A and B are shown apart, each in its own frame.
Chain A
Amino acid sequence: MQDDLVRSSGRRETIAPAFFGCDRAVSTTLILVQILNGLQLGILLFLIAAGLTLVFGVMGFINLAHGVQYMVGAYFAVAFYGLTGNFLAAMVLALASALVLGLLLEFLVFRHLYDRDHLDQVLATFGIILFLNQATIVIWGPAPLIIPTPDFLSGSIPLTGGLLYPVYRLAIIGAGLAVAALLWFIVTRTRLGMLVRAGATNPDMVSALGVDVRRLFMLVFGFGAMLAGFAGVLSAPIFSVEPGMGDNLLIVAFVVIIVGGIGSIRGSFIAALLIGLVDTLGRSLATDILKLFIDASSANQIGPAIASMLIYVLMAAILFFRPTGLFSVGRAT
């Protein structure tokens, strides 16, 4: 068995350099594909982080249950797809349901927590995670579910070098960019956006100027929940829909809003793409780059470990140089 390991690592070294040297056409395309993959991950992160950063930034409210809203969006998509058999119809219904659920949670639970300290908010929203995760098991069972990729977005398109890229993932990037543009328009060009920006900077002053901050909060909250639900719907055809699927993404979404600057939509957009790219390129290249310096079997051990640390290293570095994140909104304390 030991011999096998040695033999295989011997073989590997003859192959690894081809990746960077001889076959440059393939490796540039490969990097292009990985950049697309990174953008697509970044877009999904952005959809989740946008709501989170608004809720945290505007209301100063820590909502751990935001990842659950992503999960619920995906489950709604599965349920409505089962009823209608049409992806677009399922998406519209799922978005509406995610919005309703978000407003309902705000009405029943969250609005009673705005004036409490962060520990109470964390405990209550963590309770909601446990409750909704179990509820999905009771309703849909523990096994992973999936919905098929819609026909008009299935298949893949060839890129240069014979590599294929799935159309659906390009559609995710497109949809995410459209949402980002819409958000940019709302936040910078409308009265509502102005209030949101003002609320993020100085909520007390906004309230003093006669704006119904409670209603503003509720709107922001419902909209954020819907965006997370949208990310869930988009990911249902490529990821398996299962209980707890939002829990890991929530952690990364927090990294995104911290890197981007809490309360800043622009910051979370840039940070989400940055984190998506760093994570994806790290995972695909870390091991290969290490192989140039150390032997292959050690690289296989260390590479994945480094790759999974990269985004946190990035966050630490950004916090060191810019403690309030890349695009701080300059919140009044």
Chain B
Amino acid sequence: MKTYLSGVALSAMLAATAAMATGTAIAEPVKIGMIVTLSGPPAALGKQSRDGFQLALDKLGGKLGGQETQFIVEDDELKPDVAISRAKSLVEREQVDVVVGTIFSNMLAAIFKPVVTSDTFLISPNAGPSTFAGKNCNPFFFSTSYQNNQNFELLGKYAEEQGFKNVFMMAPNYQAGKDSITGFKSNYTGAIADEIYTPLGHKDFSAEIAKMSAAKPDALFTFMPGGMGVRFVKQFRAAGLADQMAFLSAFTVDETTLPAQKDDAIGFFGAGNWAPNLDTPGNAEFVAAFEAKYGYVPGTYAMQAYDTAMLLDSAIAKVGGNMSDKDALRAAIRAAEFTSLRGDFKFNNNHYPVQDFYLLKVAKRADGKFQTEIEKKVFDDQGDSFASECKMTW
């Protein structure tokens, strides 16, 4: 599955014309490869990334940093072997200058080595595992999203600030699920009503909901991405628990799940670095343009991909389109001289962002669509807790 934005022929023709006119070396178009998940139920997330990047490119007239740009999109199908072969094809055959990917941390782990060992820049528009934030940080890897734990830490901090005495925790029984609970606990010191691990892809939460109901906690903390979140929110609301405890969640109620959760999620809390109603320069225009073009509400996935395109635009302009001087390009990316839709943005020494984090709340808009909205800023200019283990200095 490939999308060629500006046809190869066209670019070649332009380059040839330019070469004939000036007699200088042929200017190659900038090549950006994107690897996101575009099949299966999580396709909604990859779609947001692709559309966000595309919107930025359209706004910039198909050029990044004033250079003709070829944008190639690949689907990792959420399979590590597929992700690796797509990454290799982008790097070796297409010889892209930058790879933008991925949505999921395990896909990032798969493509990381083939991309960075070929001295190609890899920019993650969403996945933010701790693996590459600490001692394995890499001069060719950047993240424009967040470090996964930060959203969980934020919720723990909020629970602590609210003086919650008793919190019920539930997450799927796999690594990210366990990380979520560890992250929450790192800032929360109150009692734990119970700590439940469900199978991944769990269908019926009735047994867990009955326990919540009996434990009568002040708040529930949960991490239930994708379809699990849709089912759980629905069942939680139907059981009448929404009025009895605060619902604190990460990656459970967002713009990719709200079209299915609808009214059932209203008033539930999420965590993130952005929301469609965040009051920053250009954000309202971004949301309006995105909805006009794609017909759905952009989530943080779309915003981060849009920011990635804008970041690349600033960096490529700074090096004057010379993609072969990797050190200069790296310095230009590090400078991050673009206006992020999320407001404050700069890179930490480990190439992960230093940014603000917010408690988000689900609301129904006047036009009947649903979105998360900024409730409260919890972290200001926050870097992640692994940056100190990264030896990179600049």
Q: A26 contacts the other chain (Cβ, under 8 Å)?
A: yes
Q: A97 contacts the other chain (Cβ, under 8 Å)?
A: no
Contact A26 B214 (CB under 8 A): yes
Contact B238 A284 (CB under 8 A): no
Contact A142 B40 (CB under 8 A): yes
Given A30-B210, A284-B210, do A11 and B239 touch, yes or no (CB 8 Å)? no
Look across to chain B and name the residue whose beta carbon is closest to the beta carbon of A168: B238
- Shortest C-beta distance, B236 to chain A (Å), equals 10
Which of these, A41, A300, A308, contacts B204 with CB under 8 Å? A41
Report the contact-size class of chain B (Cβ under 8 Å from the partner).
35 or more
Contact B227 A12 (CB under 8 A): no
Contact B197 A300 (CB under 8 A): yes
Contact A164 B192 (CB under 8 A): no
Q: Which residues of A contact B227 (CB under 8 A)?
A: 144, 240, 242
Q: Which residues of A contact B40 (CB under 8 A)?
A: 142, 243
Binary interface encoding of chain A residues 23-44 relative to chain B, with 1 for a CB under 8 A from any of its CBs, else 0:
0001101100110010011000
Q: How far is the CA of A280 from the CA of B201 in the complex (A)?
A: 16
Q: B198 contacts the other chain (Cβ, under 8 Å)?
A: yes
Contact B214 A143 (CB under 8 A): no
Q: A86 contacts the other chain (Cβ, under 8 Å)?
A: no
Q: A154 contacts the other chain (Cβ, under 8 Å)?
A: yes
Within A127-141, the residues touching B (CB, 8 Å) are 137
Q: B124 contacts the other chain (Cβ, under 8 Å)?
A: no
Q: How far is the CA of A4 from the CA of B152 in the complex (A)?
A: 15
Q: How far is the CA of A262 from the CA of B336 in the complex (A)?
A: 66
Q: Which residues of B contact A304 (CB under 8 A)?
A: 173, 196-199
Q: A15 contacts the other chain (Cβ, under 8 Å)?
A: yes
Q: B240 contacts the other chain (Cβ, under 8 Å)?
A: yes
- Shortest C-beta distance, B129 to chain A (Å), equals 16
Contact B230 A154 (CB under 8 A): no
Q: Which residues of A contact B42 (CB under 8 A)?
A: 142
- Shortest C-beta distance, B104 to chain A (Å), equals 15
Contact A15 B192 (CB under 8 A): yes
Given A15-B193, A283-B207, A284-B207, do A238 and B238 touch, yes or no (CB 8 Å)? yes
Binary interface encoding of chain A residues 108-125 relative to chain B, with 1 for a CB under 8 A from any of its CBs, else 0:
000000000000000000
Report the contact-size class of chain A (Cβ under 8 Å from the partner).
35 or more
Q: B261 contacts the other chain (Cβ, under 8 Å)?
A: yes
Given A1-B182, A1-B186, A12-B192, do A284 and B211 touch, yes or no (CB 8 Å)? yes
Q: B185 contacts the other chain (Cβ, under 8 Å)?
A: yes
Q: Which residues of B contact A12 (CB under 8 A)?
A: 192, 195
Which of these, A4, A27, A34, A144, contacts B207 with CB under 8 Å? A34
Q: How far is the CA of A19 from the CA of B215 in the complex (A)?
A: 9
Which of these, B43, B199, B204, B238, contacts A149 with CB under 8 Å? B238
Q: How far is the CA of A281 from the CA of B259 in the complex (A)?
A: 33
Q: B39 contacts the other chain (Cβ, under 8 Å)?
A: yes
Contact A34 B173 (CB under 8 A): no
Q: B105 contacts the other chain (Cβ, under 8 Å)?
A: no
Which of these, A8, A26, A34, A240, contacts B185 with CB under 8 Å? A8
Which of A57-65, A155-163, A193-201, A264-272 forms part of the interface with chain B?
Answer: A155-163
Q: A287 contacts the other chain (Cβ, under 8 Å)?
A: yes
Binary interface encoding of chain A residues 63-103 relative to chain B, with 1 for a CB under 8 A from any of its CBs, else 0:
00000000000000000000000000000000000000000
Q: A312 contacts the other chain (Cβ, under 8 Å)?
A: no
Q: Which residues of B contact A4 (CB under 8 A)?
A: 182, 185-186
Within B343-390, the residues touching A (CB, 8 Å) are none
Which of these, A41, A237, A243, contacts B41 with CB under 8 Å? A243
Q: How far is the CA of A137 from the CA of B40 in the complex (A)?
A: 8
Q: Which residues of B contact A8 (CB under 8 A)?
A: 185, 192, 195
- Shortest C-beta distance, A144 to chain B (Å), equals 4
Contact B182 A144 (CB under 8 A): no
Q: B260 contacts the other chain (Cβ, under 8 Å)?
A: yes
Within A148-203, the residues touching B (CB, 8 Å) are 148-149, 154-156, 161, 163-166, 168-169
Q: A248 contacts the other chain (Cβ, under 8 Å)?
A: yes
Contact B230 A240 (CB under 8 A): yes
Given A1-B186, A15-B193, A144-B226, do A37 and B239 touch, yes or no (CB 8 Å)? no
Which of these, B201, B241, B256, contacts A248 with CB under 8 Å? B201
Q: A314 contacts the other chain (Cβ, under 8 Å)?
A: no
Q: B208 contacts the other chain (Cβ, under 8 Å)?
A: yes
Q: How far is the CA of A249 from the CA of B241 in the complex (A)?
A: 27
Contact A164 B203 (CB under 8 A): no
Q: Which residues of A contact B211 (CB under 8 A)?
A: 30, 284
Q: A5 contacts the other chain (Cβ, under 8 Å)?
A: yes
Given A4-B186, A166-B238, do A37 and B206 touch, yes or no (CB 8 Å)? yes
- Shortest C-beta distance, A295 to chain B (Å), equals 13
- Shortest C-beta distance, A275 to chain B (Å), equals 13
Q: How far is the CA of A235 from the CA of B203 in the complex (A)?
A: 10
Q: How far is the CA of A304 from the CA of B39 in the complex (A)?
A: 29
Q: Which residues of B contact A164 (CB under 8 A)?
A: 213, 239-241
- Shortest C-beta distance, A41 to chain B (Å), equals 6
Within B137-170, the residues touching A (CB, 8 Å) are none
Given A164-B240, A304-B198, do A11 and B207 touch, yes or no (CB 8 Å)? no
Q: A145 contacts the other chain (Cβ, under 8 Å)?
A: yes
Given A5-B182, A248-B201, A304-B173, do A143 and B210 touch, yes or no (CB 8 Å)? no
Residue from B201, B210, B227, B241 having most chain A Cβ neighbours under 10 A = B210
Contact A30 B41 (CB under 8 A): no
Q: A105 contacts the other chain (Cβ, under 8 Å)?
A: no
Given contacts A34-B207, A144-B257, A238-B231, 12 further A-B contacts (CB under 8 A): A1-B186, A40-B206, A142-B42, A143-B256, A148-B262, A149-B238, A164-B240, A168-B238, A239-B231, A280-B206, A283-B198, A304-B173
- Chosen A-B contacts, 14 in total, with CB atoms closer than 8 Å, are A8-B192, A19-B214, A29-B214, A144-B257, A146-B262, A163-B213, A164-B239, A166-B235, A166-B240, A238-B235, A240-B227, A240-B231, A243-B41, A304-B173
A-contacting residues of B (Cβ < 8 Å)? 39-44, 173, 182, 185-186, 189, 191-199, 201, 203-204, 206-208, 210-211, 213-214, 226-227, 230-231, 234-235, 238-241, 256-257, 259-262
The 6 closest A-B CB pairs, nearest first, are: A37-B206, A240-B230, A284-B207, A33-B210, A142-B43, A144-B227
